[in-house]
Structures are given as C-alpha cells and as structure tokens.
Structure 1
Amino acid sequence: MTYFLPENDAVPIAARGLALTHPDTIAVHDTPLYLTARSPHPDRRVALVSGGGSGHEPLHTGLLGRGGLDAVCPGQVFASPHNRQIYEAGRATAKRDGVLLVVKNYTGDVINFGIAAERLRHDGIPVASVLVDDDLATDIADSATGRRGTAATVVVEKLLGAAADRGAGLEELAALGSRIVSRSRSLAVAARAQTSPTTGVPAFDLPAGILEYGVGIHGERGVRTMARPPVDTLVRQMADELLAALPPGHDEVLALVNGLGATTSLELHAISALLVDLLAERGVRTALVVPGTYTAALDMAGFSLTLTRLEEGWTDLWDADTDTPLTFPERVVAAAPDPAAEPAAPAPAPAGREHGSRAVLDRYAEIVTQVRDNLTKLDQLVGDGDFGDNLAGGVRRAVRHADETGVEGTAALAHVFLDEVGGTSGPLFGLLFQHLAAVSPADGRAPTLRGLADATSGALAAIGRVGGAAPGDCTLVDALATAADTLASPPPEAADAPLTCAAEAAVRGALATATLRARRGRASYVGDHALGVPDPGALGVALLYTALADVHEPATATRLPAPGHITAH
C-alpha cells in the first residue's frame, strides 16, 4: 500500500486535521461530517455550500473560508457526500437570502445535492444550485448525463466567493455561476492511473509511452489512448480543442493548469509557460495563469487544462482577498503578439555541417538522444538520475547554439556546458569540450593525433584539478584516462585508426567502472549498491570518442559496440 492513511475513518480524521491546522478559520462537525468557515464575511447574504468525494483535495476544503465557501461536505474517496451532510451544512450556514449549492456534474453529487435542496426548501430556506459541467472529453451529443464537472469548479468557487463577500443575492450568484460554467472548459490527460486505496495497485494499466486522453477526476479512463507526444505538442492539441469549444467573446482567458496528484510543480509551471505562449500565438491574452494541484485524482500522474473566457470584472473577483487554506497567484501580464512586429531574422546557416567538429556535434547529439533513457536508468541506480537529461539537454542546446551562431560544434559544446549546464558532470564535460575545440581544425579535417592526444591529456589534468578524481575512483576520469593513454602511446594496430582505438579504450575504461567501488562522484554516496553499474559519466565520455571515430574514421568505427549496447544494463 502506498498511502499513509488510517485504516478506519480516514476522511473524518483528515477533516479534523485540517481544522486543527486552521483553528481560527475552520470548524469540523461530526455526525454528519461537514466543515464550516468560522468567520464568513459580514456582508454575505448567501451561504456557499459545496463538496464531493474525497481524494480531490485541495478542491472544496482548500476554498473554505472568507472569500470562498461557507461549508464543505466531504464524501468517502471518490464518492458523493450523502444528502444529510449537505442538508445539515446548509441549515447551519444559511444566510438571510439562503444557500447556493455548487455541484459537480456527477450522478451521485447531483442526486444528493438535489435531495438536500428539497429538504432545505421544505424548511423555508431559499436555495439555488450551480451545476459545473466543464469536461470537454464528455461533451457527447446524445448523452443524457452531460459533461462531467472537474477543475473549473475551482474557478467557480473562487469567483462566487468574492461576489458573495460583496453582498450579491441568491439569483445574482446563481446567474454568475452559470455564466462562469458556460465559459469554462477542461481537458485532462494521464500517464499513470491513480493507486486504488483498496487494492494498492493502479486502477488501470498504461504501457510506457502511452497517454490516457480525456480522463476524469475519479480516475475514469479517458476517451482514448494515444502515443505520448512531446509536451508542447500535447499542450497545443489540448489548448486548440478547448479554444474551439469556448463560446465567442473577449479574447482574454484565465488558464488553470491543474495537477492530478502526482504531477510536480516543475512540470506544471513548464506547462503553464508553454500554454501562455501558445495562447499568445492564437491572439488570446492570458490575464490569469494558475498552476498547481487544485483538483487531484488521488495520486494520478497527469494534468488538466481549464480555460475560462473572462468577462469584465472577473479578474477583480479573482484578485479579491481570501482567508482560505489555498492561496492563489495574482494576475499576470501576457499580451497577445503584436501583428505589426517585425519577424525574427533567420538564423545564419551553419558552416561545415557535413564535416569536422560540427559533424561530431551532430553525431554526438544523435547518440546521446538514442541512449538518454539508458543513462538515466543507470544514474538512478548509482545517483540522483539526472545525468541522461542533463547531458542530452546540454547537447541539444549546443546544437541550437551552433545553428544560431555558426560556431564550430565542439566550440558550441564547450560554450554551453561551461556556461549553461549545471550539476557535477556539466562543467567537467565543458572542460573536455574546451580542450577538444582548441585542436579542431576549422576546415573540417580531423584533429591531428598529437593535437587530440594533447587535448585529451589536458582535459584529464584540468578535470583532476577541479574535481579531484583520479583513475580508479569510478568517475568519467576512468574513461578519459584510458583514451588519453591510448592516444599518447598508440598500439601498433592504431596506425590507421587512432580514433577508433581511443574510442575502444574509452569504452573499456567506462565499462570497467562497474567493478570499482566509487570514491568520488555521485556513486560514492551509495557504497556497494553501485557495484556492477558502470559510471554514467564515463559512458558519456566513451560515447564522445565513439562520435569522433564515427565521423573521422567511418570505415574502422564499425567495429565499435553500438551505443545502446554500451549503455545497456
């Protein structure tokens, strides 16, 4: 089991924990379970009551308090609260103009909130409801159920909370809520299903590289599966579908980038930037971008996008003060592109792409891209798992730098790795690239054997001075040292293939690190757990000399092992 939840009464205990965390603003009520705001705004004429299945937190409970909801009714995991919870919460918090119920369009929620509304009316309490049905994936023409209610609920509750604090009446709030819903659409995708609290295994299986497109917040499967595209392509597809579904109006939107439980802030902020840029390309201004986990599906690995086409005054409602567990970002400045702006000048055509160090850069980029996942897996066994992405990202930026500036390939690698790539290996590789760039002829010819030997030995000395590693410490130095020795004292068979022999030596040195107990670098922290695993940095060096041999000695380089074989474990 992956959850740290009490075996019994998990939801009531969690509710009590929330109230303990916010003792001045939140009260919890048992039998039936509901939570209330202790200090609603004195100008409120209508109480806002919402709720739903647990497992979506911080949805609902995170918006409890001044500027948000008056009461929240939590059900069991992914199950609607029962109608008595809603009825008692409504009775306890009703204002002089009544109660507004905010309901997500799921059958259990609709039925239980509907029965609670009837009971409240029977007691003489005015009641209205706002039904949130924003999920574009379930916009099916012949469906009697209609669209599901998902992350747009956050937008509805936040804006209604501000309007209620301003003293809006029941009918006014109901109309506003309906307009917000009608101008909001959401789409969600997942790369891994949520873990079932009952079975302890994912609710459904997804093969590697496959996405579930159009999932629901109760962990429902999507409307289809698809091969996982690059994230910018995925965001573009989702945003275009959402924009096409929104009603016409002012081209200004609120963009909610919502994590489904296991998606990191790093991912959500990156998606936010991609989304804002894409919307700007479409001539749509993002007045508010809201990244974070607001409507989870337990620990599902995925995200949803919600776009709300704004009306006048809605950004002011969003900016209104709140005293709730959740805090929200302020509006952003993200203007649509200026159609009169000058187009960007084309990048200069790189010289010598077919030959020389630029060809080495392109080949190295091809190899590293091919084996990035292998390097990542190896680094996860001996370190923090970042080496594959760090190396691949740096090489990718070097290719872009060479394209934009026309500089030679190894010079582009040196510039990027010394100035832009962090971590441990980044700047050390930068020193290696810097020494190689110094001996790479500009006319595309291969470096001389003496020049390459001096560059490799110089890089080895510089890396030793900076990092302190020596041969035998189980670092990239082990591969570099064997290459340096071979180039300095080439064996007889190296007469016609010195680069190939150097690459073979680097491969041997890299693979031999699997037998070493690490004394330096990432693997030194895990002790004997690293035995049997070759050092990823050493493999990165071996792959560089493989690229040199592939470009400058293609006939003999065919005897080198394939990069995928070198990095397999």
Structure 2
Amino acid sequence: MSYFLPETDPVLTAARGLALAHPGLIEVHSSPLYLRARAPHPERTVGLVSGGGSGHEPLHTGLLGRGGLDAVCPGEIFASPHNRQIYEASVAAAGSGGVLHIVKNYTGDVINFQIAAERLRHDGIPVARVLVDDDLATDAADSATGRRGTAATVVVEKLLGAAADRGASLEELAALGAEIVARSRSVAVAARAQTSPTTGNPAFTLDPGILDYGVGIHGERGTRTIAHPPIDELVRRMTDDLFDALPAGSGEVLAVVNGLGATTSLELHAIGALLNERLAAHGVRPVAIVPGTYTAALDMAGFSLTLTRLEEGWAELWAAPTDTPLVLPHRTLTADHAAPAPSQAVGPRTVEPHAQGSRAVLDRYALIVTQVRDNLTRLDQLVGDGDFGDNLAGGVRRAVKLADETGADGMAALAEAFLNEVGGTSGPLFGLLFQHLAAVSPADDQAPARAALAQAAEAALAAVHRVGGAALGDCTLVDALAPTAEALAADDDAESAEAPLTSAAQAAVRGALATAALRPRRGRASYVGDHAIGVPDPGALAVALLFVAMADVHEPTWATRLPAPGYITLH
C-alpha cells in the first residue's frame, strides 16, 4: 500500500504534477511515458537522455531543462523504463550531433538503454552512453555486474548538461562523462528501510542502534551491519573508505551529501560540516559541499556521501547556470570558506565554584536522566514534539562538563547550563528551579537545610508561575513542584522531619504521576487535548527525578522506599 500515491498511474500523475509546478519548462508524453524539456539551449547539438525507476526523485526529473537533461524516462517505482520509452524520448531529444544516454549501472536500465541504442543506430541517429558506477560498496573483484550507479549520477548530469550547452560534441561528452564517473565514488548508510509501497511496512528491519552500511538506492540491504557510532565517527569512516577507493588526482573535490528520503535538512547540513573537517584532514579542498536530497530511496532514513575529484574546468561546469526544477547549490567555496572553523577554546565561566556542594546530586541526576531519556522522549512524542528527553539530557551533559571544567557546584552548573544553553519552553524554566536550589546548596557535602530548601522550592514555584503562567492542575512541572514545596514546608510527622528529601521526592512523584489524569492547559501538550489524558507530563517527571536524585545522595537509607526512575517514567 502507499499512503498518498494514486492507485492508478501514480508515476504518470506525478509527472503531470511536476510539469504543472514548472509551467513552460516541461512537456509530458504519456504513451509511452517520458518528459522532455521545452526549451533546450540553442548552442546544444547533442541531446542528453537519462532515466530509471521512480522513487529516486528529484533524480532525474529535477535536472530536466537548460543546463541539464533534454529528456527523462521514468519507470515504475524501482523498475527500469522500457526500451520504447527510451527510444522515443531519444528520437524527440536528439540534436544534430545525436544523443547521449546517461545510465545508472543496474541490469534492467543497462539492457533497456542498450536495446534503445540499437534501435537508434538502426535509424541512423548517433548515440553514445555514459555508464555511472560509483557505489564502492559493490566494488567486488569477482562481480560480473560491477558497481551500482547511485548519487554520483547528479554530478554527471549537471557537469555534462553544462558542457552540452557549450556545444560539446557527442564524443567529447561521452569522454567527459567517463572521466567524471572514474573520479567519483559514493557510499550510503541507513538506519531504517524505505516503506514498501505495496505493504506499507519497512522493506527490511534493523534493530535499534544498528546501521546498514553500503545500502543501495532501491532499498537493497547493505553489505554489512554496524553499531551506530557517533555521527562524526560515522562520517570519518565513510570518508576514509571513499578516499581508499578514489583514484589519485587533484587536491580539489566536489562533495555531495545526499539524503535517502527521510533524512532532514538539519542533519544533512550538519553532516556537510563534519565532512568538510574530514576533507581537510585528508589534505583536499572541497570546491563545493552540496547537502540535500537528490537521489532518494523513497523514504529511507539514511544518507550517502559522494566525492568527485575535480579536473581543470569542472568547477566552472558545476557553477554554470541552469533552468531546471532542481536548483543545485552552484556557488563554489574559496579556500577560506572551505577551511574548518577553528575550535573554540573554553573560556572563563561566570559560575562561582563551591568546594563540593551538590556535585554528587548532579552526577546522580545525570545518571538517572541517561537511564530514562528514551522513556521521556516516548512520553513527549505522545503529547508534544518529542524533544524533551534529548533537551533534558543535553542540558545535564552541559552542566557536568561545566562542573568538570570549573569546579562549579553541581546545582549552580545546572542553573547556568539550563538558563544559558538549553532552549525550548522547559529548559529555561528548569534553569529557574536550579538557580533557586543552587542558592541554598551548602559548600560541602551536607544536604540543604529543610527550611532553606522549602523557601527555595516556593521561590522557584513563584518564578515559574510568573514567567510561564502555569498553575497547579495545568499538567506541567508545577504539578510536581507545588506538592514538593508543600511537603518541605510541612513538619507534621517524625518521618518527614527525619527524611525531608525522601518525603519531598515522594510528593513530587505522586504529583508527577497524577498529571496523567489531567487535560493539559499549557504548552504544546494543550494542542492535543484529550489525547494527552493518560500520559504523565515529562517535565513534571523530570522534577520528581531531581528530588529522587537528591534523596538518593543525602538520604540513601530512606530513599530505598522510592520507586525506581525507570518505573516512574514507564507509562
């Protein structure tokens, strides 16, 4: 099944939609299906034709027009076009100098383009072929098929399109294309398979924390699975593998960071910055770093890296103007722009360090947050945007780093980290809570005095209310903080007097879990209405976990009565 494609003629319908989105640029021929550029460059004497299975958009249709292709033959999803499509598109696109086929190295594509070429030669139309085979994951000595054609196709089509507009001959274009392919290599990874259009399920499954390394653009499994490393380590590994496979050549490269369909622009741009650092480590200069989704595998969650060693004049071809649906980044980098940004030295911080203070509480809270981050994320996905677990964990990590670097008191480090570096709604509000708690943290390993802690909790509660407007019953962190402040202020039994932090933590946990029965009236959770009922507020849980951490550190015997953090957040 497919969620949004029409059941009848989905590829043809999409082709018509592309033409409607770019009026005057593209004409669609339906029987057989191919798309043709309406206004090729007047200097062009050779038509450029490409194509392949659908599902890789914006390849190839995005490069249809001046500076790109003259005709494109889309097959069904992940299926090669028929030779009749290619033949008729080539007849329509051929110039006085003939037609050049740009073919990804897949068996169905190769055979159908070859048959079309035989038919064209029979008709007396000059034809040549550029075979793109850039995928290093399939570079096996014993393979009769050879390397697959993947994202380097974008580079080949763009450079050849610019050369064709300059009047290059068929022989010149074929030779240039072969040189570009020889100097290009790609490798791809995926964390989740594409959704099958027929079943609506992932085409294959990967365990959490596992990547497929060396996947293909039709959803082919990778050549191996690996544990998901930090992204900078993954980019290093992929870049090193590419340089091992690239032929020797100039010290300038074109680098494409290609999304496979479900990878965000935010991720791709970050990968581009990391790739730039790795290129510098290899002693080469990127003329352009090009992040974006150019050769998709439907909605696969992954990306590929493509490197092309540039020869003289190729950078100018990349920067040449186009009039195509896909606008590729065409500005080239200067040597200064391409250099990695200098690392920022850690400067003096404004936090005044205490001798010991609440550092043990910070370390305990950091451990707890790490353990329950995924639980908090799942809860936030049910009622908000799903970022709470990562934001909380990231803020706590910054606080730990700050405390390590400056010797700052743990609660003061939490206050500075969350007030100055954690965004969103809850980050600064937690910063206010930490700030008030830091003011009553002793300069030694002792627990804060109960009266001082009660005043700090009340002051934090008032500050959160002034800033955010939240009140008890609104299903926010206030619903955990208010009963905590009340418990600390009470002095009604011997147990609470002997173990005030444990009693406060118990009150916080009860208040946080009780938010599951509330209809949110503040924040993003309020947008989902009754759908949030049954889900405890993640912010309230984070407050409860803070007081659990304080009780664990200062009242370890009494704190054994508290539920485990994983249990508290498992709802």
TM-score normalised by L of structure 2: 0.94
* 1:274–1:38 Cα change, 3 Å: same
Q: How does 1:216-295 map to 2 (within 5 A)?
A: 216-295=216-295
Aligned partners of 1:290, 1:14: CA distance in 2, in Å?
26
Q: How many Å apart are 1:2 and its aligned residue?
A: 4.0
- The answer on whether the counterparts of 2:353 and 2:408 sit within 8 Å (CA) in structure 1 is no
Q: How many Å apart are 1:119 and its aligned residue?
A: 1.6
* 1:405–1:97 Cα change, 3 Å: farther
- The answer on whether the counterparts of 2:377 and 2:386 sit within 8 Å (CA) in structure 1 is yes
Q: Which runs of 5+ in 2 are unaligned?
A: none
Identify which range, 456-465 or 185-194, moves more after superposition.
185-194
- State the Cα deviation string for residues 384-435 of structure 1 (Å, max 9, x = none): 2221122112222222333344433222222222222222211111110111
* 1:422–1:344 Cα change, 3 Å: closer
Identify which range, 200-209 or 454-463, moves more after superposition.
200-209
Aligned partners of 1:505, 1:199: CA distance in 2, in Å?
48
Q: How many Å apart are 1:353 and its aligned residue?
A: 10
- The answer on whether the counterparts of 2:354 and 2:408 sit within 8 Å (CA) in structure 1 is no
Partner residue, 2:484: 483
Q: How does 1:508-523 map to 2 (within 5 A)?
A: 508-523=510-525
Asked if residue 118 in structure 1 is aligned to residue 118 in structure 2, the reply is yes
- The answer on whether the counterparts of 1:281 and 1:337 sit within 8 Å (CA) in structure 2 is no
Q: Which amino acid aligns with 1:48?
A: L
Q: How does 1:319-468 map to 2 (within 5 A)?
A: 319-329=319-329, 330-333=331-334, 334-336=337-339, 355-468=356-469
Q: How many Å apart are 1:30 and its aligned residue?
A: 2.4
Count of residues in Structure 1 that have an aligned counterpart in Structure 2? 566
Partner residue, 1:503: 505
* 1:27–1:342 Cα change, 3 Å: closer
Identify which range, 171-180 or 225-234, moves more after superposition.
225-234
Tell me, what secondary structure is at the counterpart of 1:356?
A: coil
Partner residue, 1:173: 173
* 1:196–1:400 Cα change, 3 Å: same
Aligned partners of 2:325, 2:356: CA distance in 1, in Å?
60
- The answer on whether the counterparts of 1:347 and 1:404 sit within 8 Å (CA) in structure 2 is no
- The answer on whether the counterparts of 1:28 and 1:36 sit within 8 Å (CA) in structure 2 is yes
Aligned partners of 2:377, 2:343: CA distance in 1, in Å?
42
* 1:342–1:266 Cα change, 3 Å: closer
Q: How many Å apart are 1:444 and its aligned residue?
A: 4.3
- State the Cα deviation string for residues 40-63 of structure 1 (Å, max 9, x = none): 111112111100011111101000
Partner residue, 2:566: 564
Q: Which amino acid aligns with 1:562?
A: A
Q: How many Å apart are 1:20 and its aligned residue?
A: 2.0
Partner residue, 1:546: 548
Q: How many Å apart are 1:479 and its aligned residue?
A: 0.8
Tell me, what secondary structure is at the counterpart of 1:316?
A: helix
Q: How many Å apart are 1:154 and its aligned residue?
A: 0.5
Partner residue, 2:35: 35
Q: Which amino acid aligns with 2:506?
A: E
Aligned partners of 1:454, 1:307: CA distance in 2, in Å?
61
Partner residue, 1:51: 51
- The answer on whether the counterparts of 1:352 and 1:444 sit within 8 Å (CA) in structure 2 is no
Tell me, what secondary structure is at the counterpart of 1:226?
A: strand
Identify which range, 146-155 or 33-42, moves more after superposition.
33-42
Tell me, what secondary structure is at the counterpart of 1:526?
A: helix
Aligned-CA RMSD value: 2.3
Identify which range, 501-510 or 74-83, moves more after superposition.
501-510
Partner residue, 1:7: 7
- The answer on whether the counterparts of 1:99 and 1:125 sit within 8 Å (CA) in structure 2 is yes
Q: Which runs of 5+ in 1 are unaligned?
A: none
- State the Cα deviation string for residues 148-197 of structure 1 (Å, max 9, x = none): 00011001101111111112222221121111111111111222222222
Q: Which amino acid aligns with 1:335?
A: A
Partner residue, 1:534: 536
* 1:512–1:344 Cα change, 3 Å: closer
Tell me, what secondary structure is at the counterpart of 1:495?
A: helix
Asked if residue 472 in structure 1 is aligned to residue 473 in structure 2, the reply is yes
* 1:432–1:134 Cα change, 3 Å: same
- The answer on whether the counterparts of 1:252 and 1:287 sit within 8 Å (CA) in structure 2 is yes
Aligned partners of 1:5, 1:277: CA distance in 2, in Å?
40
Q: How many Å apart are 1:555 and its aligned residue?
A: 3.5
- State the Cα deviation string for residues 242-263 of structure 1 (Å, max 9, x = none): 1211112223222211111122
Aligned partners of 2:520, 2:347: CA distance in 1, in Å?
48
Partner residue, 2:200: 200
Identify which range, 397-406 or 248-257, moves more after superposition.
397-406
Aligned partners of 1:465, 1:343: CA distance in 2, in Å?
36
* 1:507–1:161 Cα change, 3 Å: same
Tell me, what secondary structure is at the counterpart of 2:256?
A: strand
Identity %: 76
TM-score normalised by L of structure 1: 0.94
- The answer on whether the counterparts of 2:356 and 2:443 sit within 8 Å (CA) in structure 1 is no
- State the Cα deviation string for residues 457-495 of structure 1 (Å, max 9, x = none): 110111011111122222101111111112112442133
Q: Which amino acid aligns with 2:280?
A: A
* 1:209–1:411 Cα change, 3 Å: same
Aligned partners of 2:517, 2:199: CA distance in 1, in Å?
41
Q: How many Å apart are 1:325 and its aligned residue?
A: 0.1
- The answer on whether the counterparts of 1:284 and 1:336 sit within 8 Å (CA) in structure 2 is no
Q: Which amino acid aligns with 2:556?
A: P
Q: How many Å apart are 1:510 and its aligned residue?
A: 0.8
Identify which range, 63-72 or 15-24, moves more after superposition.
15-24
Aligned partners of 2:116, 2:75: CA distance in 1, in Å?
14
- The answer on whether the counterparts of 1:213 and 1:226 sit within 8 Å (CA) in structure 2 is yes
Aligned partners of 1:353, 1:305: CA distance in 2, in Å?
48
Tell me, what secondary structure is at the counterpart of 1:72?
A: strand
Tell me, what secondary structure is at the counterpart of 2:13?
A: helix
- The answer on whether the counterparts of 1:352 and 1:358 sit within 8 Å (CA) in structure 2 is no
* 1:159–1:121 Cα change, 3 Å: same
Q: How many Å apart are 1:344 and its aligned residue?
A: 5.9
Q: How many Å apart are 1:271 and its aligned residue?
A: 1.8
